[in-house]
Amino acid sequence: MPGTVATAGAGAAGKASSGANSGGMSGAAGVAAGATSGGTSGGSTALGGATSGGTSGTGASTAGAATAGSGGAAGASVSGGAGGAGSSGAGAFAGAAGGTITDCAGHALSLSSNGSGTASDAAKAHVEVDLMADLPIGSANRTVELWAYMKSSDWTANQNTLFFYGPSPSARNADGFGLDFGSTSNSIGSIDPFTNAYFDNDNQASGVSASTPQWVHFAMTWNGTQVQAYVNGVLKSTKASDNATQKVLKTGNSLLTIGGYPGENAYFADYIDEFRVWGVARSSSEILANKDKALVGNEAGLVGYWKFNETAGLAAADSVTTTGHTAHAGALKAASGTQLPTFVVPNPPLLIQCP
């Protein structure tokens, strides 16, 4: 690939204390300053930021953490407030009564030098990761999940791949593993989980409004018999092989590309955050329960975890903390040095709970 850039270390920065997921019709917030909107009433103040997060309940700030009602259940402790659930339901979260939610929203990966909705991205901005023996290949069970900020142009078919690994160009025998998008029907975006052969499942409705810019959580799994894809923690695609002789994946070994598919010159153009690779097939309940939470890093089966909390540099740190794990830094790549991905505080921000 032309103009690739060598990997260099970069220190990880802490989570910024502002932000909320924007789920569609209701939106973003800040803790240090700003407001969160997520319900019809209720709220509290935290470090000068008003929060609203449910249908009832109020509270007063206490050292930046406020007690607020959520969905009518008072007693969930929050810092900064949770963003409102919009048309897709993405972006809102609340703890159980008496639980603590700490605002861990921070930096994200920006791929803005890529052309959104274009068939050929000259910038080729992406992140490359060599996962070595930790990469789930062959027919090994796996899960890849991430948050992406989706604008209407990002739902364009085959032009904004979120991730891919496997031989490129493909031999077209189920040797790849990636996620991109399909046609848009009735303003609802669709997803294309693909393996380059018998497990492809194109144009599956996401349930998310393509006309409303918002943060969306995507996950794709292989459980030994089926490729499944989830949007905002909800199963939206299931595909077993439609070939009588090949019933399993044969994913080839390669670098992992975050934010693109080099073989198709298809690169994503907006924010990506909380990118995780697992060597197990996560269940629907596990995906739903943990999508809004930052990980400790030593969770069973976790083999790669990129928070993109750096403030500068040419690498994204792997945040897996399991004893004996070899860290896999992600190298920032582009056609030229002026087009590299960057680490930014996204606008609107993404609200993630601290572990």
Verify that 69 and 200 share a domain, yes or no.
no
What's the confidence (pLDDT) of residue 340? 97
Mean pLDDT, to the nearest integer, of 49-72? 35
Task: Let me know if residue 29 belongs to a domain.
Answer: no
What's the confidence (pLDDT) of residue 84? 35
What is the b/e burial string over 122-133, where b = at least 16 CB atoms within 10 angstroms of the residue's CB? bbbbbbbbebee
What's the confidence (pLDDT) of residue 307? 96
- pLDDT of 271 over the 70 cut: yes
Mean pLDDT, to the nearest integer, of 338-342? 97
Average pLDDT, the chain: 77
Q: Which two tokens mark 260?
A: 């693109």
pLDDT (tens digit, 9 = 90+) per residue, 113-156? 997 656 568 999 999 999 999 999 999 999 999 999 999 999 99
Dihedral sign computed on CA atoms, order 327, 304, 109, 195: positive
Contact 153, 114 (CB under 8 A): no
What's the confidence (pLDDT) of residue 191? 97
Task: Let me know if residue 151 belongs to a domain.
Answer: yes
What's the confidence (pLDDT) of residue 117? 57
Domain boundary among 85, 101, 117: 101
Verify that 89 and 190 share a domain, yes or no.
no
Domain that holds residue 43: 35-101
Verify that 86 and 176 share a domain, yes or no.
no
Task: Let me know if residue 48 belongs to a domain.
Answer: yes
Contact 85, 208 (CB under 8 A): no
Task: Let me know if residue 226 belongs to a domain.
Answer: yes
Considering 91-95, 155-159, 180-184, 233-237, the range whose residues carry the highest mean pLDDT is 233-237
Three-class secondary structure of residue 141 per DSSP: coil
The CA distance from 317 to 332, in Å, is 11
pLDDT confidence bin for 262, thresholds 50/70/90: very high
Task: Let me know if residue 4 belongs to a domain.
Answer: no
Q: Which two tokens mark 349?
A: 């921000």
Domain count, the chain: 2
CATH number of residue 319's parent domain: 2.60.120.200
Verify that 230 and 182 share a domain, yes or no.
yes
Verify that 189 and 42 share a domain, yes or no.
no
Task: Let me know if residue 336 belongs to a domain.
Answer: yes
What's the confidence (pLDDT) of residue 18? 33
- pLDDT of 239 over the 70 cut: yes
Verify that 260 and 176 share a domain, yes or no.
yes
pLDDT confidence bin for 105, thresholds 50/70/90: low
Verify that 59 and 117 share a domain, yes or no.
no
Which DSSP state fits 292? T
Task: Let me know if residue 18 belongs to a domain.
Answer: no
pLDDT confidence bin for 21, thresholds 50/70/90: low
Verify that 144 and 283 share a domain, yes or no.
yes
What's the confidence (pLDDT) of residue 169? 76
pLDDT confidence bin for 172, thresholds 50/70/90: confident
